Structure 1
Amino acid sequence: MWRKSVLMLSEKTAQGLTYAAGVRRAQAPLRVVIALVLAVTFHTQLVTDWLWIWFGGYVACQLLEVWALWPFRPERATSPPAWRIGLALVSIFLLGSVYGAIAIPLWMAPGSLGPAGAALLLAGGILNVLSHSRGSSLAFMAGAVPFAAYLVAAPLIDRAVRGADPFSLPFILVGVLFLVAAVVVFRAAERLTEAQTRSVAELDARRAGAEATSEAKSTFAAMVSHELRTPLSAILAAAGEIQRRAAEPEVRERAGLIAQGGRLMRALLDDLLDLSKLEAGRMRVEDIPFDLQLLVEDLSLFWSSEAQRKGLALTLHGAETLPHKAEGDPMRLRQILNNLLSNAVKFTESGGVRIEVAHHETPGQRLVLRVCVVDTGRGVSPDRLARIFTPFDQGDVSTARTHGGSGLGLAISRELARLMGGDLSVESREGEGSRFTILASLGRSASAPVAASASPPPPPPALAVRILVVDDHEMGRRALTLLLGPLGAQVATAESARAALQLLSLERFDLVLMDVTMAGMDGLEACRRLRADPGPNQGTPVLAVTGLTSEKDVQACLAAGMTGWVAKPVDAQKLYDAIEGVLADQDDPATAAA
């Protein structure tokens, strides 16, 4: 037990010495220069031979201290042994003893300046030790004791050699008081350092806890989102199939209601996932070419029909001045404007909504887009206005009950606008309406963006291919099978990654749709094993079908050997486009060879 206590004490002492050792090593050349200056300055008043012997002894002690303190470094994994700690303290003591020895003959030098100079030299030595001994009381005592001893001994020696001196006793008293003051200051500095260390450790622990909580919340949100997207895919797929096949208008209307509810739930899930990404700092915006003028005009056209259903007028001003060619994130810009226009139409009972668009050029081929959405709705009260960008805050219960929503749209929109180099602000007066202004920094595109077609998508082409659907949820397998029905493809299913690998080792497939998050073996590991197995499907394209849609998750899918990915809940047209794309790549000899 005593050995363990000694080891712990030695380790603590070594940690305390580390800071002092670093400072003393760094100051070693300066101390040698100071000693040399003292030797040169006092050679006319002191015995020359003794003086240079003192200087040589001081340099030797300085070299010993540097060598003794060399192992005390922050990057060292293990603490130096106990004997090295003792040697380090002895070297500090010896250096102070040799350096302070010059104070004795200086004190006894002819003239009245000798004692004052010696006292200043010794007091400066104590202050120097005090400044660099933080964290090690032993280093402080080893360095300060010799100077304090000389401060008391010098007047006593002078009194014994040259007789009574009326100033000797005051000098002794001052020396003792100075040493006491230095010890008090050192202890106060130690307590302050310890309190600061505890505060920093507490702040680090709290930050780590907050980061862990944020990470756990993001992981939980992603997991819940994935689990909810699987049944949601089935709901939307079944509703879409009923709408497509049903002959009775009443049945199609009910299926449309189910689909509308499913899309609303998908939007709420997307908001929750976006918020978790923003809070974790993992949201990214794209920088791709798009038609800015067309995007704004399409949004205006869509929300005009929504406004007309409520008897509102929606007008667009300034869109003709916008450039067609721009670079940025059209999906996120559309998301922000959709949210603002949705709120404007939702909370306006009479009057109308006005969209004001403008832009100006900035150096470096950039443009600043400014869009104002102005409504004649009921406005926002001052207390509510201060909380309008707070997540989940909808003002009062009646708002959520009457209009629905999660209270996340404005909070997410403002953070997205800031990610795009701009901001989102609001001006409102209760009873007079609101004015939301978004600023976004966009690039000027040199290439012509691809114009989106306003016509409905064509029906999916018939495919004479074999597709394997892999999902550990029966509902997920049934939803994908239902969506693949219009393609005319031959579909097989597997309820686990292991069952899929066994089937893929025996039969040839043209495409695999694989869930990523599965019990036992996940889709990433299954794809890695498929690529490593020289079987009939080693090169078969694999599309990830997953609710995990962050950039990190997508990159993990591609790194595992997957060809692409489709987000849950699965949009039928996006699924058809992804399938057509990977199969076209397989038919292209150059792509297939690559």
Structure 2
Amino acid sequence: MSYKKDRKVLKRVDYGAAKNSLMGVLAALLVYALVFAWGRIYLAFELESMVAGAAVLTVTAYRLWLVARFDALYGAAPARWRRMFGVGLTLHALLWGLLPAWLVWRVGPGFSFFTVVLYNVGVTTALGSSWMAGLRVRQLYILLMFLPVVITLLITGALHDWVLAALIISYGYYLFRLYRGQYETFWHAVTRERRGPLEKNNKPRRSNTDVQLSLVYRLAHELRTPMNSLMGMMSLLEDTELNDEQREYLQVAGQSGKLLLSQIDDVLDYSRILSRRITLNSDYFDFRSAIEQSLEAFGPMAQSRGLELTCVIDRLLPKRIRGDRERLMQVLTNLFSNAIKFSDEGEIRIDVDFTEESETRGVLRVRVSDQGRGMDAETLKHLFQDRFLDADDDEDLYTARHTGFGLLVCKGLIDAMGGALGADSVKEEGSTFWFTVPVQMQPDMREAQQLIRALDGAQPLVVGAASGTVASLQEEFEALDCQCSSAGDYDNALQAMRASHREQTDFNVLLVDTWSRPELALNLCRNVLGDPSLQPLKLMLLATIEERSQSSIQSLIEKHGLVVLVRPVHRSGLRQALARLMGLQRQVPVGDAPLQTPEEQKRRKRFRLLLVEDNEVNQLVTRGMLSKLGYQVKTVSNGETALALMEQEGFDLVLMDCMMPDMDGFEVTRRLREREQQEESGRTPVVAITANTAEGVQARCLAAGMDDFLGKPVHLDALETVLRRWLPDEPMDQGDEDE
């Protein structure tokens, strides 16, 4: 590789770092305004707030100037630009490292402090994926960001402050290791083509793709370890006494953590797709029910942005189809998210069609349409291509638009299913993403006969609904042997109903939607409920989940027993509402017996669990979860100590971290099983806990003698499920509980 080529690569890296820094410096202004203005810090410390604000504006202006003048400054002297960029990073880190320390010193570790710390964690994490050509500046960035606040927390002397300091120190140490590995990998990749082989041998060289995939798996594993700590701590914090504001902040942090985990999973899935290692788990499942659950999850999100989410499902869709439920819903979730993200108004509509090709096979077609910004022809052409893999040598990757991992993963998954994925779009008019998948089916066209008899060919009328809602209701009422009509104007609908009553051709069921004009919809409901001549009419209101809680609607529910159907409309919700409307008795399922009874808690206290984990933060998180579930646990940090302890004491179950120094969890388990065979003693269940989710890891755990597998981050419900599965009916030791 020539020096000219190296310089071009470095320019791309430097430009990418400069461009990526824009979001960080702009977010700094927002965080400052949030903490000092909305948080009212300036009222108590006006002068210091003004000084901090001036410093934030100065540093932000300097870094924005470096980005805006990149071509001129970099073209004149690349090394000088790098020094200036490093100075900007250093000043930014120094300023935002002092701010949380100042907040702790002046007002204590409240939520203003946590907001700044979350920003610091975010920007230092983001720096890990950019400007990998520089190491010392990035390491200095970590020190300046976290060292002042750590010192301040330690000086305060309170126990909870020391815990926070320990968490920050552990995360900073993790970043130091991550940055070092990225730096070495980057320069190895840049210079490997210029280096000749050090010695001739017959060992085949690994391809670039193999090296990249290995790096992806290693990074994903390293990222999951601190994520286990963060998500676990937040789940424990959620059960403490919090006010409404603190709980809201915690929910936002939890959502961000889940989003980051989904991004990690997308990266892993894409690496599996590139290496053709993607696996599908096909089984029969209810696709309609799965879509309905997604609608209930994404409906409020869309409605909060002023969007209407509707779904039209072919009434001939089989009850159960055979496919990979999780992968299909992963594709659909990505398409939902993109439609909501790139739409500012209008309707997002999902159409699900099914074409039967034989008695046992058919083709599933799904379309997700929006009325958003749309795409131009050039963007649409490269929508499902990875520009980093397919680009020419002379193409500037940092100025081109790139497809995110989400669509690339969707494309790979649909291809693996033997289907097709595509998109159509018109600029400023909207986009339609579609996919087709061949599936097997279990025909089951039985309908709700009791509800069909109760409706008895009713003539429903829907007023004020979006086009997708109307189409969905028409499809569902046809399945119930009814013909549904629609009207867009509330006043004309009332006149039409009174005229039909005089002509004795009444509509039997009226569905009023608040989508177009909420106030007019409620007025129509009041007029119908208050008109004695229209009393035989069955009235149902369609509203969002937020509107249902409004006092005006609640008063109609209490006074007239108004039936409310929450949008987005789907089959199960509609049929439950119709059953209430027609006075059908609903069968209430028998509830599960409570698990956390006093007897169960007392029984759990008698179990003895052993946790083998080398990471102190993960020890704290897992112990907290087990304590929350009511179990007692002993903790050791290495495999040799674990084997020695298990030789002296008996345990009902062992939670084993796989990746530990010196002796890993696989070797510990093998030695434990060998000892049990020699001594002919009982088998102790061993559950693996690891952040490595690559293919083959679970099989390796079982081959080593482990009984089950938990991936990091560990969730409380998954942990409880595994413990209930493997713990015996009664503990082996009835002695005193371990402290």
| TM-score band, normalised by shorter chain | 0.5 to 0.7
- Shift, 1:586, TM fit: 9.3
Task: Determine the structure 2 residue equivalent to 1:323.
Answer: 318
Give 1:67-78 correspondences, 5 Å limit.
none
Given the alignment, which residue of 314, 321, 325 partners 2:309? 314
- Shift, 1:293, TM fit: 1.2
Pair 1:572–1:321, CA change in 2 (3 A): farther
Task: Determine the structure 1 residue equivalent to 2:642.
Answer: 500
Give 1:450-529 correspondences, 5 Å limit.
462=601, 463-464=604-605, 465-529=607-671
- Shift, 1:261, TM fit: 1.9
Distance 2:403 2:377 in 1: 21
Pair 1:447–1:459, CA change in 2 (3 A): farther
Pair 1:433–1:219, CA change in 2 (3 A): same
User: Is 1:390 the equivalent of 2:534?
Assistant: no
Give 1:157-172 correspondences, 5 Å limit.
none
- Shift, 1:291, TM fit: 1.3
Task: Determine the structure 1 residue equivalent to 2:709.
Answer: 565
Q: What one-letter code is carried by the residue in structure 2 that aligns with 1:417? A: I
Task: Determine the structure 1 residue equivalent to 2:357.
Answer: 362
Distance 2:727 2:649 in 1: 18
Distance 1:422 1:485 in 2: 47
- Shift, 1:319, TM fit: 5.0
- Shift, 1:329, TM fit: 0.9
- The secondary structure found in structure 2 opposite 1:307 is helix
Distance 1:275 1:429 in 2: 28
TM-score (norm 1): 0.58
Which deviations, in whole Å up to 9, do the C-alpha atoms of 1:73-121 show, x marking residues without a partner? xxxxxxxxxxxxxxxxxxxxxxxxxxxxxxxxxxxxxxxxxxxxxxxxx
Does structure 1 conserve the Cα–Cα contact (< 8 Å) formed by 2:384 and 2:403?
A: no
- The secondary structure found in structure 2 opposite 1:517 is coil
Does structure 2 conserve the Cα–Cα contact (< 8 Å) formed by 1:470 and 1:513?
A: yes
Given the alignment, which residue of 255, 260, 274 partners 1:265? 260
Does structure 1 conserve the Cα–Cα contact (< 8 Å) formed by 2:345 and 2:371?
A: yes
Distance 1:314 1:398 in 2: 34
Task: Determine the structure 1 residue equivalent to 2:434.
Answer: 437
Distance 1:510 1:369 in 2: 48
Distance 1:379 1:302 in 2: 24
- The secondary structure found in structure 2 opposite 1:315 is strand
Does structure 1 conserve the Cα–Cα contact (< 8 Å) formed by 2:217 and 2:694?
A: no
User: Is 1:425 the equivalent of 2:422?
Assistant: yes
Give 1:5-16 correspondences, 5 Å limit.
none
Structure of higher CA gyration radius: 1
Distance 2:728 2:300 in 1: 38
- The secondary structure found in structure 2 opposite 1:355 is strand
Distance 2:444 2:671 in 1: 41
Distance 2:346 2:237 in 1: 39
Pair 1:486–1:415, CA change in 2 (3 A): same
Which deviations, in whole Å up to 9, do the C-alpha atoms of 1:38-62 show, x marking residues without a partner? xxxxxxxxxxxxxxxxxxxxxxxxx
Give 1:226-375 correspondences, 5 Å limit.
226-318=221-313, 320-363=315-358, 365-375=360-370
Distance 2:646 2:229 in 1: 25
Does structure 1 conserve the Cα–Cα contact (< 8 Å) formed by 2:318 and 2:442?
A: no
- Shift, 1:301, TM fit: 2.2
- Shift, 1:321, TM fit: 3.1
Which deviations, in whole Å up to 9, do the C-alpha atoms of 1:301-345 show, x marking residues without a partner? 221111111111111002543222222111111110000001001
Does structure 1 conserve the Cα–Cα contact (< 8 Å) formed by 2:348 and 2:371?
A: yes
Structure 1, 379-388 or 339-348: larger mean CA deviation: 379-388
Distance 1:537 1:272 in 2: 44
Q: What one-letter code is carried by the residue in structure 1 that aligns with 2:686? A: V
- Shift, 1:218, TM fit: 2.2
Does structure 1 conserve the Cα–Cα contact (< 8 Å) formed by 2:414 and 2:421?
A: yes
Pair 1:536–1:217, CA change in 2 (3 A): farther
- The secondary structure found in structure 2 opposite 1:390 is coil
Overall identity of the aligned pairs, in %? 33
Pair 1:328–1:532, CA change in 2 (3 A): same
Q: What one-letter code is carried by the residue in structure 2 that aligns with 1:568? A: K
- Shift, 1:417, TM fit: 0.9
Q: What one-letter code is carried by the residue in structure 2 that aligns with 1:373? A: V
Given the alignment, which residue of 409, 412, 416 partners 1:412? 409
Distance 1:392 1:501 in 2: 51
Does structure 1 conserve the Cα–Cα contact (< 8 Å) formed by 2:232 and 2:713?
A: no
- Shift, 1:545, TM fit: 1.0
- Shift, 1:220, TM fit: 2.0
- Shift, 1:250, TM fit: 2.2
Q: CA RMSD in A?
A: 3.2
Pair 1:214–1:586, CA change in 2 (3 A): farther
Which deviations, in whole Å up to 9, do the C-alpha atoms of 1:245-290 show, x marking residues without a partner? 2232222222222212211211111111111111111110101222
Task: Determine the structure 2 residue equivalent to 1:55.
Answer: none
- The secondary structure found in structure 1 opposite 2:327 is helix
Distance 1:309 1:228 in 2: 32
Task: Determine the structure 1 residue equivalent to 2:176.
Answer: none
Q: What one-letter code is carried by the residue in structure 2 that aligns with 1:466? A: R
- The secondary structure found in structure 2 opposite 1:286 is coil
Q: What one-letter code is carried by the residue in structure 1 that aligns with 2:415? A: R
TM-score (norm 2): 0.47
Distance 1:435 1:315 in 2: 14
Structure 1 runs of 4+ aligned residues shifted over 4 Å read 395-400, 445-448, 455-461, 535-538, 584-587
- The secondary structure found in structure 1 opposite 2:383 is coil
Distance 1:513 1:542 in 2: 6
User: Is 1:544 the equivalent of 2:649?
Assistant: no
Distance 1:495 1:419 in 2: 42
Distance 2:404 2:307 in 1: 24
Structure 1, 362-371 or 219-228: larger mean CA deviation: 362-371
Does structure 2 conserve the Cα–Cα contact (< 8 Å) formed by 1:508 and 1:537?
A: no
Pair 1:329–1:537, CA change in 2 (3 A): farther
Pair 1:458–1:350, CA change in 2 (3 A): farther
Distance 2:726 2:257 in 1: 28
Does structure 1 conserve the Cα–Cα contact (< 8 Å) formed by 2:367 and 2:433?
A: yes
Distance 2:595 2:297 in 1: 23
Given the alignment, which residue of 203, 206, 215 partners 2:210? 215
Distance 2:354 2:312 in 1: 12
Distance 1:247 1:408 in 2: 36
Distance 1:564 1:498 in 2: 21
- Shift, 1:214, TM fit: 2.4
Distance 1:537 1:480 in 2: 28
- The secondary structure found in structure 1 opposite 2:222 is helix
Which deviations, in whole Å up to 9, do the C-alpha atoms of 1:364-395 show, x marking residues without a partner? 722221110000010011111122123488x9
Distance 2:594 2:427 in 1: 47
- The secondary structure found in structure 2 opposite 1:245 is coil
Pair 1:359–1:246, CA change in 2 (3 A): same
Q: What one-letter code is carried by the residue in structure 1 that aligns with 2:691? A: G
Distance 1:457 1:387 in 2: 54
Give 1:92-241 correspondences, 5 Å limit.
209=205, 212-241=207-236
Does structure 2 conserve the Cα–Cα contact (< 8 Å) formed by 1:509 and 1:537?
A: no
Count of aligned residue pairs for this structure pair: 371
Distance 1:225 1:304 in 2: 31
Q: What one-letter code is carried by the residue in structure 2 that aligns with 1:344? A: A
